[in-house]
Amino acid sequence: MTGNVEIKVLFFAGLREQLGLPSIQSKLQAPLTVASLQQQLASQGAPWHVMQSEHLLCAVNKEIVSPEHVVRAGDEVAFFPPVTGG
């Protein structure tokens, strides 16, 4: 699948605060891996450089995925720092 895909991206905890927003709706060029999505977001200048952190985790449709995971149209993508619950 190629062309533009509409993707919702959520941010949580410290990352949400650093970016100053809980989510964005993005039109991006597909096919697209999580790693390249993260890179594209990180390249948008301040404060987006915080997306460069290799410690960030990514979930697609509420399941943890690896950086190689391919994002599809309609997916809900989330980036967040390592978890600290319990």
Listed residue (73, 68, 79) closest to 35, CA to CA: 68
> Residues 21, 24, 64, 73: which binds other proteins (CB under 8 A)?
64
Under the criterion CB under 8 A, does residue 59 sit at the interface with other proteins? Answer: yes
In this structure, the chain runs to a length of 86
Rounded distance between C-alpha atoms, residue 60 and residue 47, angstroms = 23
The one-character DSSP state at 16 is H
Nearer to other proteins, 14 or 67 (CB): 14
Region binding other proteins by CB under 8 A among candidate stretches 23-31, 32-40, 42-50, 57-65: 57-65
Interface positions with other proteins (CB under 8 A):
10, 12-14, 16-17, 59, 62-64, 78, 80-86
